[in-house]
């Protein structure tokens, strides 16, 4: 593991700040001063910052039901609440992907960067389902268009799975992660999203988790997420 990543996992600082700490000459590995953030460390290496021993954190993966106006960042410098503020953990957690401030529902937070990358990178095609409330009644033609893919400014979307659950409500399942994609898809078929909630990510379902509530995933759930991301 890269030394900067090791320090970040130990909760010392963010990855970028950890790199600065290393370059500043504050880190020793097995008694040797190391200034290279990419220096490799492994099991059994003694890592010290300013003379104090550090250990990497155990892996944690949390599910949060994100409320409106909460920001999907690890640190919100303004007045708005960040998702990490709603999780009761001392680990250095980062959001896995993002949900815009005007969207709600399932978001993961974790200190496992590899899992986060697999769940968010388009090549792994992890499915995400959104419950969408629309301004206008949804038509059969719009349902067909969304299912086949619609053209946006950044290209044609991949086919989506679309299920009508009400006159102005649909569930949309996609595996891409373009910026505000579902909202733009609705606009492309002449409608407008007035409410957007993510209800599943891969095999993980939001279920009855209350708004603003979070829970730590168990090992079986985490293993299923790895499988969702193509790691058997």
pLDDT, mean of residues 189-200: 98
Rg (CA), the chain: 21
pLDDT surpassing 90 at residue 12: no
| Fold equal for 61-121+206-228 and 127-201 | yes
Residue boundaries of the structural domains of the chain: 3-53, 61-121+206-228, 127-201
- Summarize pLDDT for 81-128 with one digit per residue, the tens: 899 999 999 888 889 998 999 999 999 999 887 888 889 988 899 999
- Summarize pLDDT for 201-223 with one digit per residue, the tens: 999 999 999 999 999 999 999 99
Residue 182: closest CA among 173, 124, 56: 173
- Summarize pLDDT for 126-181 with one digit per residue, the tens: 999 999 999 999 999 999 999 999 999 999 999 999 999 999 999 999 999 899 99
pLDDT, mean of residues 30-58: 91
Torsion, CA 109, CA 111, CA 117, CA 119, rounded to 10: -40
d(CA 60, CA 34): 28
| Parallel, antiparallel or unpaired: strands 193-201 and 104-110 | parallel
Please give the span between the terminal C-alpha atoms of the chain, in angstroms, as a whole number: 22
pLDDT surpassing 70 at residue 78: no
Question: Given pLDDT bands bounded at 50, 70 and 90, which one contains residue 232?
Answer: low
Distances (CA, A) of 86 to 77, 97, 156, 200: 15, 16, 36, 19
- CATH fold of 127-201 reads Alpha-Beta Plaits (3.30.70)
Residue 232 catalytic? no
Q: What per-residue confidence (pLDDT) applies to 103? A: 97
Question: Given pLDDT bands bounded at 50, 70 and 90, which one contains residue 36?
Answer: very high
pLDDT surpassing 80 at residue 75: no
Alpha helices in the chain (DSSP H): 3-9, 15-23, 113-120, 140-148, 181-188, 219-228
The residue annotated as part of the active site, out of 30, 75, 100, 228, is 100
Q: What per-residue confidence (pLDDT) applies to 7? A: 87
Distances (CA, A) of 96 to 56, 88, 117: 19, 17, 8
Instruction: Centre a 10 Å sphere on the Cβ of residue 162 and count the other Cβ atoms it contains.
Output: 20
pLDDT surpassing 90 at residue 183: yes
pTM of the model: 0.81
- CATH fold of 61-121+206-228 reads Alpha-Beta Plaits (3.30.70)
Asked whether the beta carbons of 133 and 193 are under 8 A apart, the reply is yes
- CATH fold of 3-53 reads 3.10.290
Q: What is the DSSP string of 78-117?
A: SSSPBGGGGS--SS--EEES---TT-EEEEEEES-HHHHH
Q: What per-residue confidence (pLDDT) applies to 16? A: 81
Collect all residues with Cβ–Cβ distance below 8 Å to 188 and sequence separation of at least 6. 145, 150, 151, 152
Please state the φ and ψ torsions of residue 114, each to the nearest 5 degrees: -70, -45
């Amino acid at each position: 593991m890269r030394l900067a990543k090791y320090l970040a996992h130990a909760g010392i600082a963010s990855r970028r700040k950890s790199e600065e700490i290393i370059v500043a000459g504050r880190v020793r590995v097995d008694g040797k001063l190391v200034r290279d953030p990419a220096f490799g460390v492994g099991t059994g290496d003694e890592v010290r910052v300013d003379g104090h021993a550090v250990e990497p954190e155990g892996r944690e993966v949390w599910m949060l039901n994100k409320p409106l106006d909460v920001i999907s960042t690890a640190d919100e410098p303004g007045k708005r609440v960040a998702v990490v503020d709603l999780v009761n953990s001392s680990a250095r957690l980062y959001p896995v992907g993002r949900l815009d401030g005007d969207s709600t529902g399932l978001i993961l937070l974790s200190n496992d960067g590899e899992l986060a990358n697999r769940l968010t990178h388009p090549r792994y095609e992890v499915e995400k389902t959104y419950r969408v409330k629309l301004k206008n009644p949804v038509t059969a033609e719009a349902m067909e268009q969304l299912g086949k893919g619609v053209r946006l400014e950044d290209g044609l979307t991949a086919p989506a799975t679309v299920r009508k659950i009400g006159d102005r409500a649909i569930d949309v399942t996609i595996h891409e992660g373009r910026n505000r994609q579902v909202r733009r898809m609705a606009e492309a078929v002449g409608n407008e999203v007035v409410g957007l909630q993510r209800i599943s990510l891969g095999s993980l379902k939001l279920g009855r988790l209350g708004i603003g509530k979070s829970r730590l995933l168990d090992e079986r759930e985490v293993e299923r997420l790895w499988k969702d991301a193509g790691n058997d």
